[in-house]
Chains A and B, each alone.
Chain A
Amino acid sequence: TQLLEQSPQFLSIQEGENLTVYCNSSSVFSSLQWYRQEPGEGPVLLVTVVTGGEVKKLKRLTFQFGDARKDSSLHITAAQPGDTGLYLCAGTSGTYKYIFGTGTRLKVLA
């Protein structure tokens, strides 16, 4: 069974701080996605990474896919209260089945 473990589970930081969220698995994924979910809403895609070692940037967010395509990280620079939310990674191994991670709940305090 494929599993994606995210760490930390909860993170509370002050505005302006940097943070990194991790998504780890013992399985290889052909692509991995990061989503952000607000309470009462569906997940919204932030980025898709498909190549081992790939780095993508989205404004203050930097996403990296591990060389072996088993792990990924999300780094936020100078966090803002608007970054508060649940961050989810999701992977697929080349099928139509997506496995979601356990989630990291981020709270950025003003």
Chain B
Amino acid sequence: EPEVTQTPSHQVTQMGQEVILRCVPISNHLYFYWYRQILGQKVEFLVSFYNNEISEKSEIFDDQFSVERPDGSNFTLKIRSTKLEDSAMYFCASSPTGFGNEQFFGPGTRLTVL
């Protein structure tokens, strides 16, 4: 059964460093998303991506964040200069069509900023 994969599973970085979180969505899906979940808190929407551009983004997704689909399979989230408060679980999701349809979530990347 096809699934969304994410690498790495755990990333530890120093404050101020750049990190890139990688996701491989399900191959025939067209819509891609990033969410984050700070420990003990709710899942928060960061950004949605379709047709090689951002469809929607939240207030959290400021200039420190960027997303890219560099090739036909990967979908990346870059945080330019990490802060302590960026420590969270980051989930990638994909769906075959847009809103209202099932999103398939990856297992997440745990980002720890020291």
Chain A residues packing against B (C-beta within 8 Å): 30-31, 33, 37, 40-45, 48, 50, 88, 90, 92, 94-103
Residue from the list B91, B99, B107, B108 in contact with A96, Cβ < 8 A: B99
The bracket for how many chain B residues form the interface is 20 to 34
B interface residues (Cβ-Cβ under 8 A, vs A): 4, 31, 33, 35, 42-45, 48, 50, 55-56, 58, 91, 93, 98-108
Q: Would you give the shortest CB distance from A72 to chain B, in whole angstroms?
A: 14
Given A30-B99, A30-B100, A42-B108, check contact A96 B48 (CB 8 Å).
Answer: yes
**Total A-B pairs, Cβ < 8 A:** 64
B103–A95 CB distance below 8 A: no
Neighbouring A residues of B103 by C-beta, 8 Å: 33, 45, 98
